[in-house]
Amino acid sequence: MAATKSATDVIIIGSGSVGTPAALAMAESGLRVLVLDRMPSVGQGSNKGAIGGIRATHSDPAKIRICLRSLEIFSTWKERRGDDIEWHKGGYMFVAYRNREEKALRELLVTQKAFGLNIDWLDRSQMLDLVPDLNPESLIGGTFSPDDGSASPLLSAHAFWKAAEKAGAKFRFGEIVMGLIMENGSVRGVRTDKGEYHAAVVVNAAGGWAAEVGRMAGLDLPVKPDAHEGAVTEPVAPFLKPMVVDIRPTDSSVNYYFFQHSTGQIIFCITPNPSIWGLETRETSSFLPMVAHRMVSLIPRLQNLRVRRTWRNVYPMTPDGFPLVGWAREVKGLLLAVGMCGQGFMLGPGLGELLAHVVNDTLPTKDREIMGLLSPYRKFEGQEKLK
Amino acid sequence: MSDFRIEKHPILTPPSAETVTVIWKGRPISARAGETIASALFAQGERIFSYHHKDRAPQGIFCANGQCAQCLVLADGLPVKACMELVCPGQKLEPVDGLPVLPPVSGSARLTPIEEISVPVLIIGGGPAGLSAAIEFGKRGVSALLIDDKHRLGGKLVLQTHRFFGSYDAVFAGTRGIDIATKLENELRTYPSVQIWLQSTALAVYSDKKVGVLKDGRRYVQVKPEVLLVTSGAREKSLAFPGNTLPGAYGAGAFQTLVNRDLVRAAGRLFIVGGGNVGLIAGYHALQAGIPVAGLVEALPECSGYKVHKDKLQRFGVPIYTSHTILSANGKNSVESVTIAALDDKWKPVSGTEKSFSCDTVLIAIGLDPVDEFFTKAGEFGLTAYAAGDAEEIAEASAAIFSGKIRGLEILRSMGHDVGVIAAEWYATAEILKSRPGKTTPETIPDGESGVFPVLHCIQEIPCDPCTMVCPRDLIHIHSDDIRCLPCFEVSDPAKACTGCEKCVTICPGLAIVLVDFRKDADYPTVTIPYEFLKESIEVGDRVHVLDTEAADLGEVEVVAVRAIKANDRTVLVKVKAPKAFAKKIAGIRIQEDDVTKPMDRYAERTADDVVICRCERVMAGEVRALIRNGFRDISAIKAVTRAGMGSCGAKTCTALVHRLFREEGVPEKDIIDQPKRPLFMEVSLGTFAGNEPGSIKDGGDRGRY
């Protein structure tokens, strides 16, 4: 089973939100890629837990730039590649009902505009024009970024996988990585429960399992999965254009967000407060009452919309809420693309291209800054403002 | 009332004539108070409830049991399951045509916290198993909460007009299912320690060991039980064939619900797919309701249901096509005919054997799957849980009654209550009641040509003993402790011979005992035959065709008496005079004429390739098959690409069909990776989870569904 040393240039651990589009970008750049995943098929880890929102409206230049590229890939996928990934350009709306959120959002707007994002402040009546069903009581206004949108994580993962295979990437599912093959401080390959594979470059894109993979190389990666729940409703005729995000914290939750998918279904999730740490995917009784209470308060019209299915999956979190991307210093040949903090789906395609450049050593100068900002060895001093 | 109501039934009493008016497609229609929307529409002859948003395919019912979601209609602007929602006066009903518009509301909601209660025992499902278990708690004054998603207790017992098989002592064998339901319910209602919530559906078992319940169809309550007993019964399997979702193609249980629970003449003419007990009994129920049955197909060389059921159905004049399969249900917007063909020894249809039958309804009766998701989840989450009845293992309702009782006692014992020893024989009886039919012995006709005696046309081993319990002279025996053995009639003391009391004839659940009386006329003995059709349908002087056990026509004979007495509990006894040459072979009377069972002159082919695997999302077999051929083995991946299993029902009907496609493609079961099951069991509104106080907000559809 073991591949010979020359058969593979790069082994990617994880065929999820990051690993799959990275495999595509690398394979299309001419690299010989092998992707290993413990799950039986593509995107079955945390990728399928994503609700599908894709925005460039972040608070920092690295994620803004990566997601701008992702947006381009998602939004043009169908015309360039043919398959429908249910891309829907509905925009993102952040609502402000209190001065505190208004202030935070307005401050972010400065950075966001500085990076050329198409985003603006809407006053109360503009907000209500856009989403007439918003609870008008004490609504101040909010931001709206029309170029953001959504796509199906499930269809996207399959589309990336298919395209990557077409470009020559190999995928092995249902294989658990047991260890890294090391030689004189360099990684030489990967040992799984089924065999050994050799390559000079190994990418850790293991999502919620990233720290575990890091330990195999003796690294202590500050990536901790925390569990979030999401849900989808029955489909109804289109009535809600943007993703609506409410960042007001409460006793039991932080932010929550929802949008109407191109199928007509509302997909939503909430960030629990405090975080629930661990690779936990078992459903809780508290999720639906908590999120429904907030959603129905924000948009009373949602009260009659029926919830169809719930699920739970993990956000691989880092101390400051930003991903860890870059070469490991301790082990030569080990590239980290971990800690996506719940944004792997939207970061994935853009990040995949960056990673291909990193491996090929063709990183454009303008992207070097990104790598610096996301360096795994940065000081975790700041805190992401728009998690 | 319309033409589609059953106004007279040999066993059932039509419910009160109290009517309410509802509006269907802008037109007022009359419905029975307290019936479901589905039954109200069927009673108007409406079978197309909606049009699917994906391809505008007409949608009818499939399960009529709250399991699938095919019967959605808009009730006052909101999508509801027509089979579960009861009619309300003035309600505006519309088909769902494409994606429904979410009704706008005004004002903001008044939200109350979600109620949470703790109970020692929560029982999900008030059918035979759940009721029997609950009675054990009630008897001992132990608190328990029994929830059921329907508006009345009894589960599928309320659909069963026939007398039950099984053990007379243990599970009321010889009594009709509907009456067992009443008995169990009446007993349970005398015990104040058991709380009963009707129209209350379990939605999920959560990892914190709480069970989410939609109470009274409108309020969300979280129940924290110490012990969970899952007696949620079974759901019907679907079958993949062209036209399988045409309105008019639906489950046999759904049919029994419409006909026997709601007394709606759901079909004009029926064809049945599947020769298990469910299909055979559904055929019998149809005939009782005056609905002709054009035939029944069974893929196996022999029906898997009880032989007495099969024989009876054939005697009534329903052809049974074994080693045959359904090729298609045909029709434009609803079923107009069915096409069948013989199967070769490799299960492939034999070209040239196609036959079509005119019918408006095709019943799918190919088996049941346990509703076991709550039990499985409870197990995953470490909540102490038990299962009984079909939720544990698919078997007869009589087995469910008994396993429910045993499980109740086991739970009581685990809680520290003294329930004495649960006898080993009980477990043995439970196993016996669950057993499939055993071997068939060739029939022997008794020699005697004098006096009076019963002839038992009961030649297959099944768990059943009522005939041995009712003979006042104790002349019918099973020579074993095992009630699956065949009963036999024996006279040892001529002074204590059969008196012709007819009790055995009346009680036999299989209608397999007749009485032959030579006393008045040795050449033309009188034969007494049980008859469970309208007594007005047969009269003294009528000439009827009599048949032997396996439905061979013995000839035409004259009816000399029709006896319908209260003590016989709706079993009419028909007496015919027949020549002694075949009198002892008579097992029954044909009641259906040949013309309804004749194939059409030419067989009908369905050109549309609409073999639907996932009803909710209308995913076709071809799409799934193509992925399997491309190497897909993870059902989650098939779901991701096709949406099969993403619909309202939560993959309740398509999972088995996807497995079947894998099998057809030669993929071994061990290579298939199942998808994880996720809540909710059924769709419930965000307002309900938010604790919306009913009536706190105005909208077009404000009838309390929040």
pLDDT of residue B474: 96
**pLDDT of A1 above 60:** no
Nearest to A309 among B100, B103, B678 (CB): B678
**Inter-chain CB proximity B686 and A307 less than 8 Å:** yes
Sign of the torsion angle spanned by Cα atoms A97, A100, A106, A109: negative
Residue spans in chain B of domains classed CATH 3.50.50.60: 115-234+370-434
User: CB neighbours of A240 closer than 8 A, spacing ≥ 6?
Assistant: A90, A131, A133, A259, A260, A266, A299
Rg (CA), chain A: 20
Average model confidence (pLDDT) across chain B: 95
User: Is residue A335 situated within a structural domain?
Assistant: yes
Report the number of distinct structural domains present in chain A.
2
User: Is residue A79 situated within a structural domain?
Assistant: no
> Coil, strand, or helix at residue B556?
strand
Confidence of residue B698 (pLDDT cuts 50, 70, 90): very low
Residue the block writes with tokens 């303008």: A366
**pLDDT of A211 above 50:** yes
pLDDT of residue B694: 60
3-state SS, B214-242, equals: EECCCEEEEEEEEEEEECCCEEECCCCCE
CATH class of residue range B612-671: mainly alpha
Chain B residues close to A293, C-beta within 8 Å:
111, 689-691
pLDDT of residue B609: 82
Whether residues A293 and A167 share a domain: the answer is no
User: Is residue A80 situated within a structural domain?
Assistant: no
Name beta bridge partners: A183: A186
Quote ipTM for the complex. Answer: 0.96
**pLDDT of B108 above 80:** no
**Inter-chain CB proximity B640 and A137 less than 8 Å:** no
**pLDDT of B390 above 70:** yes
**pLDDT of B672 above 80:** yes
**Inter-chain CB proximity A289 and B687 less than 8 Å:** no
Pick the closest to residue B222 from B373, B110, B378, B118 (CA basis): B118
User: Is residue A379 situated within a structural domain?
Assistant: no
Whether residues A306 and A174 share a domain: the answer is no
Query: Given the DSSP bridges, would you call strands A253-260 and A243-246 parallel, antiparallel or unpaired?
Result: antiparallel
Whether residues A363 and A215 share a domain: the answer is yes
CA distance A188 to A180: 8
Instruction: Give B276-285 pLDDT, tens digit per residue.
Output: 999 999 999 9
User: Is residue A284 situated within a structural domain?
Assistant: yes
Rg (CA), chain B: 26
pLDDT of residue B109: 76
pLDDT of residue B252: 97
Whether residues A164 and A271 share a domain: the answer is no
**Closest residue in chain A to residue B100, using alpha carbons only:** A236
**Inter-chain CB proximity B686 and A235 less than 8 Å:** no
**A308 touches B: beta carbon within 8 Å:** yes
**pLDDT of B517 above 60:** yes
User: Is residue A257 situated within a structural domain?
Assistant: yes
Where does a domain end: A270, A299, A315? A315
Q: What is the mean pLDDT of residues B452-462?
A: 97
CA distance B623 to B615: 14
pLDDT of residue A6: 57
**A368 touches B: beta carbon within 8 Å:** no
Whether residues A293 and A170 share a domain: the answer is no
Write b or e for each residue in B568-594: b if 16 or more Cβ atoms lie within 10 A of its Cβ, otherwise e. bebbbbbbbbbeeebbbbbbbbbbbee
Instruction: Give B365-387 pLDDT, tens digit per residue.
Output: 999 999 999 999 999 999 999 99
**Closest residue in chain A to residue B104, using alpha carbons only:** A301
Instruction: Give A301-355 pLDDT, tens digit per residue.
Output: 999 999 999 999 999 999 999 999 999 999 999 999 999 999 999 999 999 999 9
Whether residues A289 and A159 share a domain: the answer is no
pLDDT of residue B106: 84
Whether residues A137 and A118 share a domain: the answer is yes
CATH 3.30.70.580 given to domain B115-234+370-434: no
User: CB neighbours of B474 closer than 8 A, spacing ≥ 6?
Assistant: none
pLDDT of residue B1: 43
Whether residues A228 and A144 share a domain: the answer is yes
Residue spans in chain B of domains classed CATH 1.10.10: 612-671
**pLDDT of A2 above 60:** no
Residue the block writes with tokens 């991307």: A325
The domain that holds A36 is classified in CATH as 3.50.50.60
Instruction: Give B484-506 pLDDT, tens digit per residue.
Output: 999 999 999 999 999 999 999 99
**Inter-chain CB proximity B690 and A296 less than 8 Å:** yes
Query: Given the DSSP bridges, would you call strands B368-370 and B234-236 parallel, antiparallel or unpaired?
Result: antiparallel
Structural domain range at position A354: 10-51+154-223+320-373
**pLDDT of B483 above 60:** yes
Average model confidence (pLDDT) across chain A: 95
Number of inter-chain CB pairs under 8 A, A vs B: 163
Residue predicted with more confidence, B69 or A157: A157
pLDDT of residue B598: 97
Instruction: Give B227-253 pLDDT, tens digit per residue.
Output: 999 999 999 999 999 999 999 999 999
User: Is residue A387 situated within a structural domain?
Assistant: no
Where does a domain end: A315, A340, A357? A315
Instruction: Give A147-185 pLDDT, tens digit per residue.
Output: 999 999 999 999 999 999 999 999 999 999 999 999 999
**pLDDT of A356 above 70:** yes
**Closest residue in chain B to residue A154, using alpha carbons only:** B640
The domain that holds A237 is classified in CATH as 3.30.9.10
Pick the closest to residue B115 from B208, B238, B227, B211 (CA basis): B211
**A300 touches B: beta carbon within 8 Å:** yes
